[in-house]
Structure formats: structure tokens, C-alpha cells
Amino acid sequence: MKNKIFSISLIFFFLIIFLVFYKGLQNSNIYTPDLEIKKNIPTFKAQIFDTSNEISSEKIFNNDQYYLLNIWSSWCVPCRDEHPFLVYLSNKKNLKIIGLNYKDNNKSAKTFLKKLSNPYELIFSDRDGIIAIEWGAYGVPESFLIYKKKIIKKIIGPLNKEILFEIEEIIK
């Protein structure tokens, strides 16, 4: 009798393990970051691009309107591809585009903007990439749509037509 209970519980135990692992096999093991997070924006102080002045994040995103924070760099090729979309968005009345110049040097960044035009209301520099980490960014390019000091949409990678359409729908 005792042996029977033991064998049944053993079978039951391994069955549970099998089920758990079987279920685990079906889960995706590719990391997909959350894109729809309504997180508060981080607070930080950053140097304004091409000046020695510092500005705090509270002063940048304080109005009751939409902001698009775009992390860009002159050495990043996809940033060139998405630039026309940013220029297009900069004409929208209720959207301000803020740039975060990521691990770049001033001279090439300035040439980049001169060549492709400057869609940014304000740019601040992130020499060592720490501010991008505070935003939870993975690299360049990356954009964050912000409303009332909350991140309402995170775009990893360059902007494209579909994303542009989505942004236009949100800020309507």
C-alpha cells in the first residue's frame, strides 16, 4: 500500500514537471521589451547641445502638449533614414521634438544637422550614454512619445511610415 502511494506520487510529481517544462517550451525565448508603458519620464540634468549650459528635464517637458524625444547620433546610419520623418513631424503644431545627441562629437553632429536640416526644438548631449540608460533606451535611434510627463509610446529603431501614421493619430 505504502509503495503504491509512493509510486503514484512520484508519477504525479514527474507529470507536473513535464507539464511545466512542456509549457515553458512554447514560450518565446526572444526578449521583447514592453512598448506600451505608461511610465513617468526620468529626471536628469543634461548639457544643452553645443553650449556649456545645463538644463533639467523638468524644464523641458513641462507643457501640456506632446513631446517626441528622439535619441540620435551622426554616426548612426538608420538615423539618417528616419530624419525626413522627424522633419515632417516638426511641422506639427502640438508636437515638440527634443533631441538627445548620443555619444557623438559636436562637429559631426552639427554637420549632420546642417546637411539634413534641424527638426529639434532643443537638443541635449549625452556624452557617455547615461541619460539614454535613464530613459531605458537600448541604442540609437530610439524615440519616446511623451504626454503629461509620461511616456505613452516607445519606438525602438528608426521611424517609418506606419509609426508616423500612429503618432499622427495619437496627437490629433
The residues that touch another protein, with contacts defined as CB under 8 A, are 6, 10, 13, 17, 20, 31, 33-34, 103, 128-130, 132-136, 138-140
Nearest-angstrom CA–CA distance, 1 and 86: 75
**13/88 with CB nearer another protein:** 13
**84/129 with CB nearer another protein:** 129
CB of 25 to another protein, least distance (A): 15
CB of 67 to another protein, least distance (A): 19
Please give the C-alpha separations between residue 136 and each of 33, 51, 131, 165, in angstroms, as whole numbers: 10, 25, 9, 24
Extended beta strands in 37-158, E state: 39-40, 45-48, 54-56, 66-72, 95-102, 122-126, 142-147, 150-156
**79/167 with CB nearer another protein:** 79
3-state SS, residue 167: helix
CB of 88 to another protein, least distance (A): 28
Question: Do the beta carbons of residue 57 and residue 26 sit within 8 Å?
Answer: no
CB of 92 to another protein, least distance (A): 29
Of 148, 145, 150, nearest to 169 by C-alpha is 145
**77/133 with CB nearer another protein:** 133
**Residue 86 carries which side chain, given as an amino acid letter?**
L
**84/157 with CB nearer another protein:** 157
CB of 20 to another protein, least distance (A): 6
Residue 162, H or E segment: helix 161-171
